[in-house]
Chains A and B, each alone.
Chain A
Amino acid sequence: MGWPFTSANVLRKDGKMSSQEENIKIRTSGVTVHYGAAQALHGIDLDIRANEVTALIGPSGCGKSTFLRCINRMNDVIEDCHFGGKIEIDGEDIYSGEIDVVELRARVGMVFQKPNPFPKSIYDNVAYGPRIHGLASSKDELDHMVETSLRRAGLWQEVHDRLHTSGSGLSGGQQQRLCIARTIAVDPNVVLMDEPCSALDPIATAIIEELIEELRSQYTIVIVTHSMQQAARVSQRTAYFHLGHLVEHGDTDRIFTNPANKQTEAYISGKIG
């Protein structure tokens, strides 16, 4: 079992800075994805730093969600989807045969575009992960995990007196925070978010964005968003994808004020590229 992925390479033979020194959490090199004959990603080399929010932006069909799903091997379940290249988390190859994919997905959690709480109580939604992974040894410990996760997701104050009511009875924004609580209940290192606010109103969006900022001290976050303003607000690094290629990657401050690539400039400015 390769987890908990703490064996960062300190000294590398090629003389490059090590993962530890650069604080790189996820290192991807030459990542390709084919859906049958169609190539969706063309050799993506992207390093993602720990405890930062990295935003993946680009027009529909550019490959950003495909890339995101590679990070917890969600594409494995898609028939005829073929992965190439290498993705390392804390120096560990997550596509090696030794990796337990179920555990990988617990450690690399994912929040989806549409809130998708289980048709269970609020409590059971959050307790689900710790239960199936056997993380709690007692009811008290499980209660503590549920409470901690709901607090971290900024939902505890709103639901603590109705934990055993249905999660689907919450508002859209609350449901999304419940999904975030469910994701972090299994203590992941990395949280992937695929357009987590696209179905939410501006207030619920602001609450999620505030939550993302709070969560990044404990997790490495990768977010796909179609909102340039959201990417600019929440992320420290931004990667621009176009037609399956990584066009540009850098500090968010620079990408949105002075991008190096004309395609990036055209996209973020709403111009005909």
Chain B
Amino acid sequence: MGSEHIVSSFDNDLAELNHMVARLGGLAEQQFAAAVEALETRNTSNIDAIVEADKQLDKLEFELNERAIEVIARRSPMAKDLRRIIVALRVAGNLERIGDYAKNIAKRSRVIIEHEKSLGDNVSIARIAGLTQQMINQVLDAYATGDAELAMDVWDRDMDVDQLHTSIFREVLEQIGADSERVSAGSQLLFVAKNIERIGDYATGIAEQIYFVKHGEFPSQTRPKADDSSSSAIDQS
């Protein structure tokens, strides 16, 4: 992700920050996958471990922040070096939030699994989760290699996640409308879907940061948006 500095230890500092982001990314990815698996397999045995493991993400993000501040203070980075460090901080923040959403999905999954058997089978949830996992995987690869084109490919796909979220929202809303006993689990599922959609947003945000590192500016196009869930309502007719 850049040529060598005359002071080679500066390269080591930047490589260390990259490595910390990669570790954070791996943990966030793992947490999200475990949360989705718990819901899909209706297995609550791993949920406590997922909630507990979130602390590792928080700790690692804190360490990365401290390290990045040290590097800024000691190296006075300029231009692309400065962008790389600032973006490492921002990406770390996004990954930590992805971890928080994964933890929240795990907690809500427990309620869904315990209260409602069939809602957990929602095929669209599996699709939106699979799509979002691919986005995270790809955006982390793009970060590691500094590949802005690959990052923008992820950026483009956020619209698919938004569309799926809207359809899940309407689908679950209809189920709740048809059967009031499903309100408890159904509302939890709405939150799960929203969390996954937000994870997609964070992956998209990371993609924008990767573009910024390479080009020194953010993508000129408006981020594609197709989430109409905020204007959806139960049809009472």
Contacts and interface: CB of A to CB of B under 8 A. Distances in A.
A271 B78 contact: no
Interface of B is mostly: loop
B217 interface: yes
Interface of A: 228-229, 232, 256-259, 265-266, 268-272
Listed from nearest, the 9 A-B pairs whose CB atoms lie closest are: A258-B216, A268-B78, A269-B81, A270-B5, A265-B79, A256-B78, A271-B5, A270-B6, A271-B3
Contacts of A272: 3-6
Given A257-B216, A258-B217, A269 B76 contact: no
B7 interface: yes
A258 B76 CA distance: 15
28 contacts: A228-B76, A228-B78, A229-B76, A232-B78, A257-B78, A257-B79, A257-B82, A257-B83, A257-B216, A258-B83, A258-B217, A259-B79, A265-B79, A266-B3, A268-B79, A269-B5, A269-B78, A269-B79, A269-B80, A270-B5, A270-B6, A270-B7, A270-B10, A271-B5, A271-B6, A272-B3, A272-B4, A272-B5
A270 B7 CA distance: 7
B77 interface: yes
A110 B225 CA distance: 58
A226 B6 CA distance: 16
A265 B3 CA distance: 11
A158 B79 CA distance: 39
Contacts of A265: 79-80
Contacts of A258: 79, 83, 216-217
A131 to B, nearest CB: 44
Interface string B73-108: 000111111110000000000000000000000000
Contacts of B5: 269-272
